[in-house]
Amino acid sequence: MTGMTGLVAAQTPAPKPEEKKVEKTDKPVEKKMTSRNANGTVKSATADSVVVAGKDKGKDTEWTFAVDPKTKIKKAGKDITAKDLAPGDAVHVRYMEHDGKAVASAISVRPPKKDEVAKKTATDKPAAEKK
């Protein structure tokens, strides 16, 4: 009988290596959110949004960016809030599309160009006093 057990064991097929199973899920594949950039001038700003006019692919365009507590806004190296932005401020905005909405992650106010500063200072000079 011992001889039969060895013969039976020898005829048992070797176990098959497990095949990798690819599971399909119903979840949509989430795309990694990439940040985008926009440059332009502020048209209006509130505590929770900023409207910027600029150019995109050579065409004039206007963006409305949502602003949340995580949005970092800097002007002259100092942290400010969205409502501190003034119309006409030149800005660079880094943002992400989230649920079909552009959400600003960082807004940097660029310093004005030298010729713009010269124009502004020329118009801001007080009139000569009369004697």
Domains by residue range for the chain, with CATH? 36-121 (2.40.50.320)
Is the model's pLDDT at 100 over the cut of 70? yes
The two three-digit tokens of residue 51, written as one number: 């409207």
Is the model's pLDDT at 130 over the cut of 70? no
The DSSP secondary-structure symbol of 27 reads: S
Residue 34 is predicted with a pLDDT of 84
Residue 4: pLDDT band with limits 50, 70, 90? low
Q: At a CB cut-off of 8 Å and minimum separation 6, what does 33 contact?
A: 96, 97, 98
The two three-digit tokens of residue 48, written as one number: 């929770």
pLDDT above 90 covers a percentage of the chain that reads 53
Dump pLDDT digits (tens) for 10-62: 555 666 666 555 555 555 555 566 889 999 999 999 999 999 999 988 899 99
Is the model's pLDDT at 101 over the cut of 80? yes
User: pLDDT averaged over the chain?
Assistant: 79
Enter the pTM of the model. Answer: 0.62
Residue 111: pLDDT band with limits 50, 70, 90? confident
List, in sequence order, every residue forming a beta bridge with 55; answer none if it has no partner.
60
